[in-house]
Amino acid sequence: MDELEKVLQWNAQQGNDNFERNLKECMSMLNEKFKRNSYIAGFKILKDYYHIDYDFVGTAKALKNETDVQKQIDVLPDIKMQLENRDVKHVLLLKDIAYTRVQNYWSGVSFLHRTKNKEPS
């Protein structure tokens, strides 16, 4: 989320020739991350168990398609606030770890094998 921090800094907009490029990179990064399977699964958990109904994917997609730079900038603090929520941070971090780290070590182990667990006995 370094890109988000970079864009949200107060002086990032002041005299920075790279600001629009940084903003575009931030929008792309948010879209890319929020479309990952780990994040989609995390958003479902947040909605079902924590009753957090924020539409991360829809908001990021709308921002990427928005042509008004100021409107993009105005929504970013809300996304950041949502991502800093303790429950959101906890769930997304654990899902990201499960999808990127644990799966690499445990793939093929029968009780953790995703397709085998879905098959009825």
Q: What residue has token string 């002086």?
A: 11
Closest listed residue to residue 34, CA positions, set 7, 65, 53, 58: 58
Work out the average pLDDT over 69-86. Answer: 92
96 is written with which tokens?
A: 């990201």
- The pTM assigned to this predicted structure is 0.76
Residue-range domain boundaries for the chain: 2-118
Amino acid identity of 11?
A: N
Query: What per-residue confidence (pLDDT) applies to 116?
Result: 53
Is pLDDT of 87 > 70?
yes
Asked if 57 contacts 35 with a C-beta cutoff of 8 angstroms, the reply is yes
Query: What per-residue confidence (pLDDT) applies to 96?
Result: 87
Is pLDDT of 10 > 90?
no
Query: What per-residue confidence (pLDDT) applies to 48?
Result: 96
Asked if 8 contacts 77 with a C-beta cutoff of 8 angstroms, the reply is yes
